[in-house]
Amino acid sequence: MARRSANAKRRRPEDVAVVFGRTDDQQGLHILRRRAEGQPVEMGTLRPLREGKPIDGEVISLRPRRDYPFVCDVKVELPDPSGDHRSTSDGPAQVASDGYRRGWEAIWGRPTSAAKAN
C-alpha cells in the first residue's frame, strides 16, 4: 500500500466563481468567475434552467466551499453550444468611424430617407 506524499494533497478546482449579488428580478445571481490560473476574471449572470426556455451559454453547477460559502467551485455540465467565448479585451471595439461611413457611401450610396431608421 503506497503512502500519499505531502505534495499529493487534494487540490481545489481551478474554475472558481464568487457570488456577489442578485439580479434585478431576483431570479438569478451575479458572479465573478476565473476559469483557470492566470486567466482573466469574467463577470456573468447565473440563472436557473427553466423547461421550455432556451439555454444561453454554458450549463454549470456550483459547489459552495465550506469555509467561504460565496466562493464556489464550478463544474461545467454542458459547454456553450456556440463556443463563442470572445473576451471584451480581444482587439479594438467594433465601431464604424467617419472614414468607414464615407467609404461605404462612396461604394453603396447614401441611404434614402425612406430607408433610415426611426
- pLDDT confidence bin for 85, thresholds 50/70/90: low
Quick: pLDDT tens for 22-36: 999 999 999 999 998
Does residue 90 or residue 69 have the better pLDDT? 69
Q: Which three cell numbers stand for residue 118?
A: 426611426
Which contacts of 87-95 are long-range, i.e. CB under 8 A and separated by 24 or more positions?
87/40, 87/42, 89/40
User: Is the pLDDT at 69 greater than 50, yes or no?
Assistant: yes
